[in-house]
Amino acid sequence: MPELPEVETIRMGLAPRLLGRTIEAAHVWGERTARNQPGGTAALEEAMRGRRVEALARRGKFLWAELDNDRALVFHLGMSGQLRVQDGQRPRFRHEHARLTLDSGTSLSFVDQRTFGRLEVASLVDTPDGAVAGWGATRSAIPETAAHIARDPLDPAFDPLEVTRRIRTSRSSVKNLLLHQEIVSGIGNIYADEALFAAGVHGARMGKNLRVYQVQRILSEVANVMTRAIEVGGTSFDALYVNTEGEPGYFARSLMVYGREGLPCKVCDTPISRVAISGRSHHFCPNCQPRSGRKPKSK
């Protein structure tokens, strides 16, 4: 599933093509694509047609376009959703379920092989903290379907002290807490494992057992690793994630632990291990991230 770096890569690719443009035509071929829109495909097409895109915003993994009627077009990418931009008309992509044609002649296609993604036009609601809703947003209002999502570590209004407090008062594992989108958003398995490795913390440790500086370092490393991933277009393991031009991301080449079970740690040569934490895989180095929190004494 695309995580924050992949969604931000898509947002950056879309912004120059969409901002200030009017949606002249809208076609939705997939019923599942419009499953959350009251009235189905016809209502979704009508809600998009004729609207001007005023901003393209992201919070965590949620991406939306601010429209000129105080509503938002929300893109839920799901497991395999892609947003592909083309100049002029072209035949439908395989698994293409919706297409918007802009007044510039550019078309935006929603491609979704596994059909877990969807589009919807939703009302905007005020942000509880009164700050601009997310990266790229211009309003202190967020789509009501994403109002429960916490801010992400790259958001200018992110509050690391409050997130630290919430993590340190929990008996859940820190890996689970990083994946809890109502505490901190945008972090999935890949970047949680990479950040925990960089911070030297095992993902199974309970939040309440971590010191303030450890949680703050984890959050700092989350921001660092995701920033580096954005610089190379995110992480692609297969053809399901590509950017708006159909190109993959290259951060997989820089992964330290995720997907490297059995391979030597790039820091200490200890084989990378993998365990399940609440049903999710956690990749870690047993030497660099001891579960006890105490690194073994060097011989």
- Across-strand partners of 257? none
d(CA 223, CA 205): 20
For 9, the token pair is 């890569």
Establish whether 71 is a catalytic residue. no
Higher pLDDT, 237 or 79: 79
Average pLDDT of span 213-229? 97
Query: Could you say which of 61, 84, 166, 260 is catalytic?
Result: 61
Contacts (Cβ under 8 Å, ≥6 apart) of 12: none
pTM: 0.93
Cα-flanking dihedrals φ and ψ of residue 167, to 5°?
Answer: -65, -40
Query: Could you say which of 32, 217, 266, 280 is catalytic?
Result: 280
Query: Could you say which of 2, 5, 153, 248 is catalytic?
Result: 2
Counting every residue written for the chain, the total comes to: 299
pLDDT of residue 235: 82
For the cut 60, the answer to whether the pLDDT of residue 297 exceeds it is no
Establish whether 2 is a catalytic residue. yes
What share of the chain has pLDDT > 90, as a percent? 86
Give the pLDDT band (50/70/90) at residue 299.
Answer: very low
Query: Could you say which of 3, 6, 54, 221 is catalytic?
Result: 3
Establish whether 266 is a catalytic residue. no
Establish whether 61 is a catalytic residue. yes
How far, CA to CA in Å, does 149 sit from each of 76, 110, 183, 219, 263? 13, 23, 8, 17, 36
For 224, the token pair is 């660092």
Higher pLDDT, 238 or 186: 186
What share of the chain has pLDDT > 70, as a percent? 96
Average pLDDT, the chain: 93
